[in-house]
Every structure is written in C-alpha cells, then in structure tokens.
Amino acid sequence: MSLRAATALVGAYDTTVGVVPGVTPTELCAEAIRGAVADAGLELGQVDGLITCNAMAQPIMYHAEAMAEYLQLFPKLCLTLPTGGGTTVSALAHAAAAILAGEVETVVLAMADSLRSGLSRDQAMRMQSATGHPDFEQPYGPTVPAYYALIAQAHMARYGTLPEHFARVAVDTRAHAARNETAQKREPVTIDDVLSSRPIADPLHLLDCSLVSDGGAAVVLTRADRARDFARPPVYCLGFGEGHSHEHISQARDLTSSAARESGAAAYAMAGVGPGDLAFAQLYDCFTPTVLAELEDLGFCAKGEGGAYLASEGMGPGARLPVNTHGGMLSHCHPGNPGAMFALTEAVRQLRGECGERQVKNAEAGLVHAQGGIMSSHATLVLGREV
C-alpha cells in the first residue's frame, strides 16, 4: 500500500509566537489542538488519534496521553514522538500510515514549547551542552551553533562558499517575514547587517542563527476520500521520505552532504514529481548553512552550487523558488522541536491560497523538509492541492 494521496490535511492552527509569558507549553498545545480542530469544522470528540512531541520547558512522561486527558479526548491512537526537529514530518507519516491501515480516521498532530519564557539561560545552556557525543564531543565544550559552523566551514573549504552566501538566507527569510504579521522578527536586514552581527561560531553570526521562541501549532489529518467534506479546502499528502545518516556530527561521513538526498528522493518518487514541479519549499533553517545544504541535497541546485544559486536566484519574495514564506525559524519563530510545525501550517495555507501579501502565485504543490539532530535525521513531505 502506498501513502501517496491517501490522506489530506483539513485543519491548521498557530498560536501566538515569540515571547508568550504566563502561558505554559501545555496550554499552548491545548490551544493549538482546539484551533486546528475548529479550523477543520470538527468537534474534539470527532478526533480519534492524537500525536504530540514532548516540551523541553514542561516535560511530561506520557505527553500525548496527558494532553488527551487535559482536553478530555479519548483517542484510539495516542502517541508521543520525540524525534527532534524532524518530528513534524515523521509523525505525519505515522499518522497517515495509521489512517491507511484503518486504525483511525482523523488524527491531530500538535506540538508546543516555551523555550523563550519557560527556560532560564542556565537551563537552556545545560540542555544545549548535552547534545553532543558523551565521549567525543561533550568533553570539549562545543555549542550547537559550533556544530553547524563545522558544516559551514566544510562547505567553504570544499566549494568556495562565502559567508555572504549564508547571509543571503537570513536576508531573504526576513523579507518573507516582513510580509507576515505573525512573525517574531519583521525588520528588514541586509547582508552587511548579518555579517556585522555578533560572532557566535566562525563563520556564523547572530543573524545566521534561529530565534528562541514560545509557540505551538497543530494540524488535522484525515482520509483523502473524506477530505472534501470538511470546512476548508483539503491539502493532499502526495509523498513522504526519510533518511538517517548519523546521530553525532563527529561520526558523520560527510559534512557537506546529508540524508536529505535520500528523504527527498523517496518523497519525490512517491509523489511522482521533481524539484522543478514545486511552487515553494519550506526548509528547516535552524542555521543558515542548513538551508544551503538542503537546497543542494533536495535537488534545487547541484551539489556545491548552493552559494552561487543563492547569490543569483535568491529565495525571497518573487524568487523562482520562494523558501520559508512565513519567515522560517530565522525570523518567524523557533520553539525547538515544534519549529517545523509552522513550516507545515504555512504550506497548508499557501496551498489553500490564504496567505495574502505573501501568497505564492500558482501554488499547486510545495515541499516541507524537517531535520533533527545536527543534520542527522531528515524527513521530506510533498503536498498538493490536487491528487
């Protein structure tokens, strides 16, 4: 059985993002679930599946079950998936498989966290320092930005990529965010602004790094043959793919290539499309070099040509391939594991034609790509307005 076009997204919701004090991750998650269900024109009691991801600022041992209890939901499927930044797409594939198998009919996928308001600086730094390999990385004290700086340095050394090329990612995502009234950062920036911002880990500067945010989002997934009975136009899941290359960056076989090649190829094959058939891409942009590598590995340009592609084509409003039309993690928000959820809800709205000033013309199909770890686990989703 193929997952191609077996399911469709019929509801989507984002909470307020940025700094949201006095609201717990549980409350943000509950708001997102209620909002997505209402967007689909459903009642909570009509949901028979719930998938969530635990919150760093308010961890609960059985998170999905706790959220179901909080909302007085009694689903057949209740699952917590803590697979880092790639959870959004991986969880959606699990939900689609459960629906196709007849286990459930309507699943809500929801994530929320309060990294900005719910963690002290010391707590955040302790969590960050625990990400590396306990023997080969943690003893040397690198931060998460330092791991991604290794990827940037490798690309620069092998292909002649420049810091200006990475900076273009931040500039163009901010240009998208300027058109999105919900984005955390909307003031335009220039390449010089990025390069003159505070150094973080050579060659990365502050504006090369994603935001730290509060926020939550949720979507509703159901069987494709039911999708047109809902309140909103359906958005069909045409192709899924995953790829896993390593867990710790010190064990990566190649710092300039990623398993996005495998995840993208699988998603394209299932959907029956290629990179040139897509109107937009929502790419995981925790740091600017991530986007450059993903553009190459997902086939939007050749390996090693990401810098030249960004310099000539760009990815902002009006580009041949607009990327992160909501502003991405660099400018819209990044509450940790839920970060890619906002890429998914943005893709749904783009394909519904609901994005106003930032609406991409002729948006019939688009891509969402998420990754977890340090370019470790990759998951790709192709979405479309029609089957």
Confidence at residue 96, expressed as pLDDT on a 0 to 100 scale: 97
- In eight-state DSSP terms, residue 329 is I
Confidence at residue 121, expressed as pLDDT on a 0 to 100 scale: 74
With beta carbons less than 8 A apart as the criterion, state whether 64 and 50 touch.
yes
- When the pLDDT of each residue in the chain is averaged and rounded to a whole number, the result is 95
Q: Any bridge partners for residue 378, and if so which? A: 243, 371
With beta carbons less than 8 A apart as the criterion, state whether 278 and 248 touch.
no
Please determine, for residue 1, whether its predicted confidence score (pLDDT) is greater than 70: no
Both tokens assigned to 57: 């600022």
Global pTM reads 0.96
Please determine, for residue 51, whether its predicted confidence score (pLDDT) is greater than 90: yes
pLDDT for 230-279, tens place per residue? 989 999 999 999 999 999 999 999 999 999 999 999 999 999 999 999 99
Residue 137's pLDDT band (cuts 50, 70, 90): confident
Residue 387's pLDDT band (cuts 50, 70, 90): confident
Q: CA Rg, the chain, in Å?
A: 19
Both tokens assigned to 300: 């939007």
CATH architecture of 7-119+213-226: 3-Layer(aba) Sandwich (3.40)
Nearest to 346 by CA among 299, 300, 279: 279
- In eight-state DSSP terms, residue 298 is T
The mean per-residue pLDDT over the stretch 195-206 comes to 98
pLDDT for 62-98, tens place per residue? 999 999 999 999 999 999 998 788 899 999 999 999 9
Both tokens assigned to 46: 């009509």
How many whole angstroms separate alpha carbon 291 and alpha carbon 295?
Answer: 6
Domain ranges of the chain: 7-119+213-226, 155-209+235-384
Confidence at residue 85, expressed as pLDDT on a 0 to 100 scale: 87
Peptide bond connecting 203 to the previous residue in cis, omega within 30 degrees of 0: yes
How many whole angstroms separate alpha carbon 373 and alpha carbon 260?
Answer: 13
CATH of domain 155-209+235-384: 3.40.47.10
The percent of the chain in helix, strand and coil, each rounded to the nearest 5, is 40, 20, 40
Residue 129's pLDDT band (cuts 50, 70, 90): low
Which amino acid is present at 60? I
* Two domains, one topology: 7-119+213-226 and 155-209+235-384: yes
Nearest to 321 by CA among 267, 272, 287, 360: 360
